[in-house]
Amino acid sequence: CKRIGILTSGGDCSGLNAAIRAVVHCACGKGWEVLGIRQATLGLMARPPQSLKLEIDQVDSLLTSGGTMLGTTNKGDPFAFPMPDGSICDRSEQIIAGYHQLGLDALIGIGGDGSLAILRHLAQKGGINLVGIPKTIDNDIGITEHAIGFDTAVNIATEALDRLQFTAASHSRVMILEVMGRDAGHIAIAAGIAGGADVILIPEIPYTIDHICSQIKQRQDQGKNYCLIIVSEAVRTQDGETLTMTNRLGQCRYGGIGQYLADQLCERIGVETRVTVLGHIQRGGTASPRDRLVAAAFGVAAVNLIEEGKYDYMVTWQNRQVLSVPIAEAIAQYRAVNPDDTLVKTARGLGIYLGD
Ligand code: F6P
């Protein structure tokens, strides 16, 4: 009989609760005890460590709920943790001690590449038996074809394009949809193709405003009165600048490229343009069936890895199978959109402008 911990770390996404549910079902089925750690490493840092015992009854209704029942955080690296007085402090020892105080045999960390790298660093330093489950709407973690949350985000962005198409056509407008994805264009290219975009702009492939203008004009010449553009948040301006937005707390994230493009297009060819920034809607709400499926398979596979004593591994989806790879290997291979990807060829084959 084992006692295992589970935590969700970094930005939330749809499908996290489905993964927690799967872990609890599988582990409790083996007669193990599962402790949910609240708010990622902050829960292990707290004294007493913040956790709750998870039973099947408690998680059974979670399959369709968004967010994470455990809470999460992306507030800094525990090895250089920002303190309220502005100083930086190494809190790793407290987190490691929290894991041991809870008497855990192993820890399942559900996170993106940044969170998994931090958890691995903690595990190496403090003898934590770690197994990773990849999640991120950005789908940029190496080796695995799917990360939990990506499919739902693509569905939401696709639906946004579907809806924008009607209003664009009614008003003869250029509609720009700005989507998340951090430095990778996976959401934009997948939703752009599925949602019938005329222009897809991703950080991995450079573009010119002149070519976007030509695409709009070409459509006008064909009698098409509107144009749908989808742009990833980290696409640069023509001056090579990555635009960011900062809130009053000084927190910064990508944003603003959609409005920049709208201004450029209006200035150059006088088209009427509107911008929609999809934002965190891409991370909220019920997970798609595929994300639930991936979450279920990953949850079960992670528990099985613990049973085999195969630590420091991350579960992956490769060629229709759930496999596992060393966490270090996965995080070392950042997965951007490759210019030779099938989806790039598909977009080009459809006559979509995707950059040069
Ligand atoms: O990594 C997931 C993600 O949603 C990115 O696509 C986006 O750039 C970022 O997180 C937003 O982070 P926050 O929730 O801190 O605004």
Which pLDDT score is estimated for 281? Answer: 97
Q: Is 221 annotated as a binding residue?
A: no
User: Is the Cβ atom of 138 under 6 angstroms away from ligand 1?
Assistant: yes
User: Is the Cβ atom of 253 under 6 angstroms away from ligand 1?
Assistant: yes
Ligand 1 atom closest to the Cα of residue 283 is 4
Q: pLDDT tens digits for 16-62?
A: 999 999 999 999 999 999 999 999 999 999 999 999 999 999 999 99
Which pLDDT score is estimated for 251? Answer: 83
| Active site residue ranges | 138
Ligand 1 atom closest to the Cα of residue 187 is 6
- The residues, ordered by sequence, that sit 6+ positions from 252 with a Cβ below 8 Å of its Cβ are 244, 245, 246
- Tell the residue nearest (CA) to atom 11 of ligand 1: 253
User: Is the Cβ atom of 182 under 6 angstroms away from ligand 1?
Assistant: yes
Give the C-alpha distances (Å, rounded to integers) separating 110 from 6, 113, 180, 334. Answer: 8, 10, 20, 17
Instruction: Kindly give the distance from the C-alpha atom of residue 248 to the centroid of ligand 1, in angstroms, as a whole number.
Output: 17
Q: Is 69 annotated as a binding residue?
A: no
- One digit per residue, the tens of pLDDT, for the chain of length 356 reads 999 999 999 999 999 999 999 999 999 999 999 999 999 999 999 999 999 999 999 999 999 999 999 999 987 799 999 888 989 999 999 999 999 999 999 999 999 999 999 999 999 999 999 999 999 999 999 999 999 999 999 999 999 999 999 999 999 999 999 999 999 999 999 999 999 999 999 999 999 999 999 999 999 999 999 999 999 999 999 999 999 999 887 888 999 999 999 999 999 999 999 999 999 999 999 999 999 999 999 999 999 999 999 999 999 999 999 999 999 999 999 999 999 999 999 999 999 999 99
Which pLDDT score is estimated for 76? Answer: 78
Instruction: Kindly give the distance from the C-alpha atom of residue 226 to the centroid of ligand 1, in angstroms, as a whole number.
Output: 30
User: Is the Cβ atom of 137 under 6 angstroms away from ligand 1?
Assistant: yes
Q: What distance in Å separates the CA atoms of residue 183 and residue 181, rounded to the nearest whole number? A: 6
Q: Is 111 annotated as a binding residue?
A: no
Which pLDDT score is estimated for 186? Answer: 98
**Predicted TM-score (pTM) of this structure:** 0.97
User: Is the Cβ atom of 139 under 6 angstroms away from ligand 1?
Assistant: no
Which pLDDT score is estimated for 84? Answer: 87
User: Is the Cβ atom of 258 under 6 angstroms away from ligand 1?
Assistant: no
Instruction: Kindly give the distance from the C-alpha atom of residue 182 to the centroid of ligand 1, in angstroms, as a whole number.
Output: 7
